[in-house]
Amino acid sequence: MSNPMKIIEIKRSVFADNNADADKLRAELRSKGVFLLNLMSSPGSGKTSTLIQLINRLKTDLRIAVMEADIDSDVDAVKIHEATGIESIQLHTGGMCHLDADMTRQGLAHLPLQDIDLAILENVGNLVCPAEFDTGSTMNAMILSVPEGHDKPLKYPLMFSICDLVIINKIDVLPYFDFDLDKCREYVLQRNPKATIIPISAKTGEGIETLAQYFINIIKN
Amino acid sequence: MSNPMKIIEIKRSVFADNNADADKLRAELRSKGVFLLNLMSSPGSGKTSTLIQLINRLKTDLRIAVMEADIDSDVDAVKIHEATGIESIQLHTGGMCHLDADMTRQGLAHLPLQDIDLAILENVGNLVCPAEFDTGSTMNAMILSVPEGHDKPLKYPLMFSICDLVIINKIDVLPYFDFDLDKCREYVLQRNPKATIIPISAKTGEGIETLAQYFINIIKN
């Protein structure tokens, strides 16, 4: 693809009713056959490294593009493109702590949607604000990493209640942290009884095949 | 102290000019001889466990109270009180992603300020929004934990630029992560050349004495 790395400066939205706008965007994407994944997490939980592993496993099955939202760096978009070869654009939020549906649409306008099955939005690293704004995504997912602790679903309830997929990352360091995977599952399911929980290590590759199959099943069926 | 654990529901501020209000609160606290520390970090970087270690070391030298801001749980305030015996109140932000000066003042109103040298505000776990709102604190500090990665000052520039103290926590797990302490120092100092950087492990206690001395020097002199 030409011009694989773009930096887009996102403008504040003018729409008062983000929920209605998000539903509209979701319908537009459905009509185009694009599955939009909104991936959220704390800073440093491993969104980018998880995406690199997942995309390298999925890219023969699905046509994928990534939008990396960040306050003002472009390290993630460069990293994703270099490590996977897929189109990756950087969305600068200008200090904003989240993306809403219109901001997401501004990013999507720079992607060749007719050639894409799976568009991934890597949201701003933040467990609070992104949970409050519907991006128009087909699915919300989040990553919780082992060093953050198993109590996070108790402390950031909205984030866990809106995510249908919770990826538990960095399970390779489980021996070094007081992280109780069973308790974590219990707390996640308290917030969203329908949530799927998939433990992985983006470092060792453990669990990536399970995660890839999960997306293939959902997107291809 | 009687009634050591209170939960305070914080109301949205009515002040248009938070910066002016923060300066006013700072002056009020100075006149009362109270040092207000605003402690920020990502979710799960170890704010509460660091505070427990630090308070247990400092409580013979300083009279301390803690305000734990959280979206809606009270686990941290209970933990701090049980582990240190000091007064610890919980501030519920009602979904808000940060505290400003007036919200901080609402919390302080529940503390016996005449008997306190050091009031600690544990802000909402978030590297974005809390950096944008001056709480009226005497000092801003933040914790970056090793598993989050040394590149965070590049990605959350405002947070690192407003903190005069950056505590690098979880150094006990340095062998298991690709965290470059020298690069981290370099990136932190790019954001704030005056920042003090103190590596610690709240788990093993390493570095806690250095951190305690840092606060004793600043507050007692």
Mean pLDDT across the stretch A59-65?
A: 97
Whole-number pLDDT of residue A164: 96
- Give the nearest partner residue to A43 out of B155, B157, B173, using CB atoms: B155
Best residue in A133, A176, A203 for a mutation probing chain B (most B CBs within 10 Å)? A176
Whole-number pLDDT of residue A14: 66
Whole-number pLDDT of residue B94: 79
> Which candidate, A2, A28, A7, A4, places its Cα nearest to that of A135?
A28
The percent of residues in chain B predicted with pLDDT above 70, rounded, is: 96
Across the interface, whether the CB atoms of A44 and B125 are under 8 A apart is answered no
Nearest residue of chain B to residue A174 (CA atoms)? B176
pLDDT single digits (tens) B3-26: 446 778 877 776 679 999 999 999
Chain B residues with beta carbon closer than 8 angstroms to that of A126: 97, 126-129
Across the interface, whether the CB atoms of A44 and B156 are under 8 A apart is answered no
Q: Which long-range contacts (CB under 8 A, 24 or more apart) does A25-33 make?
A: A25/A101, A25/A104, A25/A105, A25/A108, A25/A135, A25/A136, A26/A136, A26/A137, A26/A138, A29/A108, A29/A113, A29/A119, A29/A136, A29/A138, A30/A138, A32/A113, A32/A114, A33/A117
pLDDT single digits (tens) A19-49: 999 999 999 999 999 999 999 999 999 999 9
Whole-number pLDDT of residue A5: 64
Q: Angle formed by the axes of helices B208-220 and B47-58, to 10°?
A: 60
Is the pLDDT score of A176 beyond 60? yes
Whole-number pLDDT of residue A12: 72
pLDDT single digits (tens) B119-151: 999 999 999 999 999 999 999 999 999 999 999
Residues with Cβ within 8 Å of residue B213, at least 6 apart in sequence: none
Is the pLDDT score of A98 beyond 50? yes
pLDDT single digits (tens) B83-116: 999 999 999 887 788 999 999 999 999 999 999 9
pLDDT single digits (tens) B155-198: 899 999 999 999 999 999 999 999 999 999 999 999 999 999 99
- Give the nearest partner residue to B173 out of A72, A97, A173, using CB atoms: A173
Mean pLDDT across the stretch B52-79?
A: 91
Mean pLDDT across the stretch A98-121?
A: 95
Whole-number pLDDT of residue B14: 66
Is the pLDDT score of A118 beyond 50? yes
Chain B residues with beta carbon closer than 8 angstroms to that of A156: 43, 71, 125
Whole-number pLDDT of residue A96: 83
Q: For the sheet with A87-92, list strands across it.
A: A5-9, A87-92, A64-70, A118-122, A35-41, A139-145, A165-169, A196-199
Chain B residues with beta carbon closer than 8 angstroms to that of A154: 73, 75
- Give the nearest partner residue to A124 out of B71, B72, B128, using CB atoms: B128
Best residue in A96, A97, A160 for a mutation probing chain B (most B CBs within 10 Å)? A97
pLDDT class for A75, splitting at 50, 70, 90? confident
Q: How does the average pLDDT of chain A come out, rounded?
A: 93
- Give the nearest partner residue to B155 out of A73, A154, A157, using CB atoms: A73
Distance from CA of B80 to the nearest CA of A (A): 16
Whole-number pLDDT of residue B5: 64
Best residue in B71, B91, B184, B204 for a mutation probing chain A (most A CBs within 10 Å)? B71
pTM: 0.91
Distance from CA of B126 to the nearest CA of A (A): 6
Sign of CA dihedral B48, B54, B59, B63: negative
